[in-house]
Structure 1
Amino acid sequence: MFQRLAASIALGLALTGTAMAETDIRFTLGWKTQGSDAPMLLALSKGYFKQEGLNVTIDQGEGSGATVTRIMSGTYDAGFGDINAIIQNAATRPEETPVMVYQMWSVPPFAVSSRKETGIQTPADLVGKVLGGSQGTPTTRLIAVLARKNGIDPDQLQVTNMAPNLQEPMLIKGDIDGALVFTITGWFNLVNNRQDPEADYNWLNFGDFGLDLYSNGVMVSRRLIAENPDAVRGLVRAINRAAIEIGTDPAAGAEAIIAYDNLAKADLERDRMIFAYERLMQSDESARIGLGDLDDARLARSIDIVAEGYELPTKPEVAAVFTREFLPPLDDRKLVYTPQ
């Protein structure tokens, strides 16, 4: 009797010890709370991280490019950000740069938004127009590459530097002809300004004219990969589980956004989440290889494009930017999206 009781107590202590031995992961979003963060926020609210033995703390970000530098500083272990920022930093600091482990946006969000009356539909239409861009952002840095790939002298483009928050107001007023934006940001900035981005604006998407880049996904520090690969695997598994779930239950993703930040605009961020699924995550490629993965040859071409646009001293190898080592099986990453 006593032996059985002692064994039960020992087992209970062992189980308690196991439950307490969670791995802490500090995770940074790409910006303030947005609908596109829903997979991470659903994994948090539904306890999917906990089920993987992880204690994940999620903080708001300062820009999808800043996710990389936040992780490089050691303040964060992982985050949601732009793979092109990994490419830039891996060119000079490859041992410190985080690695993309779950590529979420298969379609690039880089675009020129313009009022339809300006007639901007192709790169040739940009000549003679006044464009507004924020210095250092991928769209602004890559506009010259877009021009060259389409037979246009970049010197024929007139780009005015401005703060990101001025782009849509100046576009609406007609002070600029086109804004160099992220679609998922510019679209909803226009909505916030009581505009109809579908009916009244054109969107010249870089991916349609030779700059078929990747963009946001989940990246982790090299230290975490080296010290605790199982934690990385669990992090990816939890986020993928939530991302796939939102595909058939978008309402769950919308609820997770507000559960994380009750000051977020519920309708706007729900629509932004749907925009991400319909226009950035779904593609022929993601249907073939699943969420989280990417095509190595396409990434190699992307590295060439980023190296040209940012005048990088070296070109990092694909393996220095992305690894599929931690991805769940393909069958678990097949996105079935049900529009609401």
Structure 2
Amino acid sequence: MKIAVMPGDGIGPEVVAQALKALQVVAPQAETQEAPIGEAGIQAHGAPLPERTLDVARKADAILFGAAAASTGITYLPMLVAKQRGYFKDEGLDVTIAAFSGGSKTLEALLGGGSDMVAGAYSNTITMATKGQHLVVVAAQVICPGWIFGVSQKRGSDVKSPKDLKGLRIGVSAPGSSTHIAVNYILHKAGLQPSDVSIIGVGQAAGAVAAVTSASVAHHSIEEET
């Protein structure tokens, strides 16, 4: 069996490394070949899904995939693939994709004229409508929120329920973003107030993992708009 190994970005390489150890035990005869994807692909070959990676995948019997698109979030991988495959160009569009640290920064770029169109959590349309700004949704890339809420290993034994978040530092992609809104909802359900915690903007994926690893935050909500 030939397996294409795509560690990707963020925690992807760490997860895949452990998966390969397990693979060596259950399928020691399997042949593996590594190929970059996501931001790793951009850095290595200038594209999120390089032709070399596609070639490796086509020749494989299975694919071991970690995580991709560290700077933008995996929910936005379809846009990166569409650009790399020339789908925008086929429609006569010259598209530049820029990554922002969170939904609030993305909306600033849209309303300020820095971006013509943005991708982000649907809740942004509701939030902006309350402020008299009516955004139009033209496509949905996911059917459910792609958020992960995690607690640092250092605080793992202290946090058994949302109520235990009181007094802790919680990382979100950016203050005012949809991950921030989600955290506030969790606090509300637990009978807490937003003022009971400290909110810190730490970006997404790789930046979020680094913040938790370095103990800059005790809890983090990750993966959202760009």
Name the TM-score, length of structure 2 as normaliser.
0.50
| More helix as a share of residues | 1
Q: CA deviation at 1:57?
A: 1.4
The alignment partner of 2:151 has SS state of: strand
Distance in 2 between residues matched to 1:43 and 1:170, nearest whole Å: 31
Name the counterpart of 1:50.
Answer: 89
Equivalent residues in 2 for 1:127-142 (5 A)? 127=166, 130-133=168-171, 135-142=175-182
Distance in 1 between residues matched to 2:82 and 2:96, nearest whole Å: 11
C-alpha contact 1:68 1:86 (8 A) present in aligned 2: no
Structure 1 counterpart of 2:150, from 110, 113, 124: 113
Name the counterpart of 1:148.
Answer: 188
Name the counterpart of 2:213.
Answer: 172
The alignment partner of 2:93 has SS state of: strand
Distance in 2 between residues matched to 1:89 and 1:167, nearest whole Å: 26
Residue identity opposite 1:39 in structure 2: P
| Identity between Structure 1 and Structure 2 (%) | 18
Residue identity opposite 1:172 in structure 2: T
The answer to whether the aligner puts 1:162 opposite 2:209 as a matched pair is: no
**Residue 81 and residue 131 in structure 1: after superposition, are their counterparts in 2 closer, same or farther (change >3 A)?**
same
Q: CA deviation at 1:34?
A: 5.2
C-alpha contact 1:43 1:49 (8 A) present in aligned 2: yes
Unaligned runs of at least 5 residues, structure 1: 1-29, 185-214, 218-340
Distance in 1 between residues matched to 2:162 and 2:131, nearest whole Å: 31
Name the TM-score, length of structure 1 as normaliser.
0.36
C-alpha contact 1:132 1:162 (8 A) present in aligned 2: yes
1:104-163 alpha-carbon deviations (Å, 9 max, x no partner): 233324454213532535323434x5233353333334434323324x2327x7422434
**Residue 114 and residue 140 in structure 1: after superposition, are their counterparts in 2 closer, same or farther (change >3 A)?**
same
Distance in 1 between residues matched to 2:139 and 2:120, nearest whole Å: 11
**Residue 118 and residue 169 in structure 1: after superposition, are their counterparts in 2 closer, same or farther (change >3 A)?**
farther
Instruction: Say what the alpha-carbon RMSD is for the aligned residues.
Output: 3.5
Unaligned runs of at least 5 residues, structure 2: 1-68
Residue identity opposite 2:94 in structure 1: V
Distance in 1 between residues matched to 2:88 and 2:148, nearest whole Å: 34
**Residue 58 and residue 32 in structure 1: after superposition, are their counterparts in 2 closer, same or farther (change >3 A)?**
farther
Name the counterpart of 1:123.
Answer: 162
Name the counterpart of 2:221.
Answer: 181
Q: CA deviation at 1:174?
A: 4.7
Distance in 2 between residues matched to 1:131 and 1:88, nearest whole Å: 24
C-alpha contact 2:150 2:219 (8 A) present in aligned 1: yes
Distance in 2 between residues matched to 1:106 and 1:136, nearest whole Å: 22
Name the counterpart of 2:101.
Answer: 63
Distance in 1 between residues matched to 2:149 and 2:82, nearest whole Å: 33
The alignment partner of 1:57 has SS state of: coil
Equivalent residues in 2 for 1:284-295 (5 A)? none
**Residue 69 and residue 98 in structure 1: after superposition, are their counterparts in 2 closer, same or farther (change >3 A)?**
farther
Distance in 2 between residues matched to 1:31 and 1:93, nearest whole Å: 33
The answer to whether the aligner puts 1:89 opposite 2:128 as a matched pair is: yes
Distance in 2 between residues matched to 1:47 and 1:167, nearest whole Å: 31
Name the counterpart of 1:99.
Answer: 136
The alignment partner of 2:96 has SS state of: strand
Name the counterpart of 1:261.
Answer: none
Name the counterpart of 2:111.
Answer: 72
Distance in 2 between residues matched to 1:31 and 1:70, nearest whole Å: 20
C-alpha contact 2:171 2:219 (8 A) present in aligned 1: yes
Name the counterpart of 1:39.
Answer: 78
The alignment partner of 2:142 has SS state of: coil
1:13-37 alpha-carbon deviations (Å, 9 max, x no partner): xxxxxxxxxxxxxxxxx99455543
Q: CA deviation at 1:54?
A: 2.6
Equivalent residues in 2 for 1:271-290 (5 A)? none
